[in-house]
Amino acid sequence: MTRIGSDVKFHDGATLLADDPFSTLAAVRELGFEGILVRTVDEAFPTLDAGAVREFAQEARRHGMFVQLGLGKVNPYMTAELPRVRDLGDGSYLDGMVRMIELCAEHGWTEAWTATGGFKHDLPAPFCVDRFRTDVDWSDQLVAIARFLRLLAPALRANGVRLNLETHEEITTFEILRLIDEIGADVVGVCLDPGNLMVRGEPVMDAVRRVAPFTHMTHLRDAVLVRSEEGIARFLAPIGAGVTDWDELVGILLAAQPEIDLAIEGIGGSRAEMTLDPRDAFWRSMHPDMTESDVTELERLVDLYPAQADRGTVECVDVLRARPPAREDYIDFLQRSRDALRAAIAARQPSLLEYSK
């Protein structure tokens, strides 16, 4: 049976919800969630203290909550941004990743999150995304990612753990599927974040259909597209407060993965505005799998925004660009998303056969 949990971002052992992993777990439970995605484990437990992790696992089991872990990043061109993982391996980033894989296996946490890049909040677009680095082409980064995943594959197979690549802001679903095909679906899968798909020029439902058979984890949230001076602005939104058809998305996903546990990724204090510009020649050249029909669909969603904002079904730009108190905004985001996702799951039960065709 599908359960709903919350992804939680740790920093020095604390989160927006509480000051330590155990209090955070309790806070997630009190918000009505049935599980937690700890992203990443080295941020929650910097030394991977075995006793502390074991106690955390026991506490989650005692309350019937699922646990999923995030394990660093797999792009060798940016792993210097994660020095703790290298520290865990006594200087070897690879060994640090293997330690975390073994930790997952020890507690039966067999689906693990990872990503192929990191967003640089203090840099201008497009250089805030690793896809647009000027010191190395994205194609070369993909080669390095595949090489690193091949190095991890023996440890993943030996421990029965799969690394699920997030549909992150730097990578397309086409590229993730090629990596899965190259490395093996037994050790590489997908963590679906529909809020990021449009940033890479992908209409949501087409992308969800592509990756659903390989999706074993989620970072669920919605998004809004708005015309801007730079092209199109993407803002994150709580589930049900954006342009995504959640009845359709949930139907597609659960038809492919009926027992999947779903995690919501909240955000607080910002709606993470990002820019896409599919009519710009350079931007378009960086997305060779993108079609003209994709551009047409994205522009259709942009054109719908003014009427949706007037009706109040999506938030106005001033609200989207506001900076509310982070903790209160984060909790509101999670709660609204939780309620909307529960409603979508409940609504799809009679329609499973339709989505399975």
Q: Map out the domains of the chain with their CATH numbers.
A: 4-356 (3.20.20.150)
CB 6 within 8 A of CB 37: yes
Q: Within 10 A of 277 (CB to CB), how many other CB atoms are there? A: 16
Report the C-alpha gap between 273 and 196 in whole angstroms.
Answer: 11
* Helix residue ranges per DSSP H, the chain: 21-30, 41-44, 50-62, 83-88, 93-106, 138-159, 173-183, 194-197, 204-211, 246-256, 281-285, 292-311, 317-320, 326-348, 352-356
Which residues of the chain are under the pLDDT cut of 50? 351-357
DSSP 243: S
Question: Can you give the pLDDT at residue 350?
Answer: 52
Report the C-alpha gap between 246 and 226 in whole angstroms.
Answer: 20
Q: Angle at CA 172, nearest 5°, toward 304 and 80?
A: 125
Q: Which residues contact 110 (CB under 8 A, 6 or more apart)?
A: 104, 160, 161, 162
| pTM for the predicted model, two decimal places | 0.96
Q: Within 10 A of 266 (CB to CB), how many other CB atoms are there? A: 27
CB 33 within 8 A of CB 24: no
